[in-house]
Amino acid sequence: MYFDTHAHLDDEQFVLDQEAVITRAEEAGVELIVNVGYNVTSAQQTVELTQKYAFIYGAVGLHPHEAQDLTDDVCHEIRELAKKSKVVAIGEIGLDYYYDHSPRGTQQQAFREMIRLAKEVRLPLIIHDRDAHEDTLRIVKEEKAAEVGGIFHCYSGSLPLAKEIIKMGFYLALGGALTFKNARKTVEIAREIPLEYLLIETDCPYLTPVPYRGKRNEPAYVVKVAEAIAEIKGLSVAEVAQATLNNGKRLLEIG
């Protein structure tokens, strides 16, 4: 009954055993996965995964690291891929001021273009926001992104910001970082934000939860995120799994 709302199964780290990883997810009780593209090639591979596996859905978009590659042709290709039957979101898009692989102005322009595309095709957003909270929120508001809503993936902002985001109708996705020893801020989010606004994810192959930290992450480990939320909130794991599954299906219009 688990829903991993953010995976990168097309990553090169899964080349040798992708099928086995997906089988392990099913065996762990993962009912749904959203594979999230980050450029045109990744988006194409994502669509292929959605066609191969009944329980995998897709998101297509241009990651802020790739923002310098934005062209009319790239926008056109992502728009066409967004029309595929099991593509349920535009993402991963947003801003990343930690690595700054693309100039910040270029990231902001690409983010705006992707939001406009999402509004055009009427799909929610999967937003990457790292060390760019102020600009991310400003652009979301200026572009009226709440018209389509979406997910702040791997949420790392403050509690006041989280409350502002959910008032706009967005969801917050929590991942393996919630299990880290230094995760005080993320634990506060899990404790204070109502379950009706939370989702779970892995961001695999990255951000592997305890006790698997140091190894490659995979969708089966999303169970550990649900367990962490359950412990923080004093709920059963089944309650957290069912609620986050329902939240994701409702937002992404699955089933």
In tens, the pLDDT along 167-186 reads 999 999 999 999 999 999 99
Q: Which residues contact 17 (CB under 8 A, 6 or more apart)?
A: none
- Per-residue pLDDT tens for 51-76? 999 999 999 999 999 999 999 999 99
Question: Where are the chain's structural domains?
Answer: 2-252
Per-residue pLDDT, averaged over 212-217, amounts to 97
Q: What is the mean pLDDT of the chain?
A: 98
What is the predicted pLDDT for the residue at 80? 98
Q: What is the pTM for the complete model shown? A: 0.98
Superfamily designation of domain 2-252: Metal-dependent hydrolases (3.20.20.140)
Residue type, 56: I
Instruction: Look at residues 96, 118, 114 and name the one whose alpha carbon lies nearest to residue 251.
Output: 118
Which tokens sit at 70? 């934005």
User: Residue 125's beta-bridge partner residues?
Assistant: 90, 150
Q: d(Cα 203, Cα 39) in Å, to the nearest integer?
A: 16
pLDDT of residue 61: 98
Beta-bridged to residue 152, according to DSSP, are 127, 172
Please compute the mean of the pLDDT values over residues 204-209 and round it to a whole number.
Answer: 98
Q: What pLDDT was estimated at residue 35?
A: 99
Query: What's the longest Cα–Cα distance across the chain?
Result: 49
pLDDT in tens, 90-142: 999 999 999 999 999 999 999 999 999 999 999 999 999 999 999 999 999 99
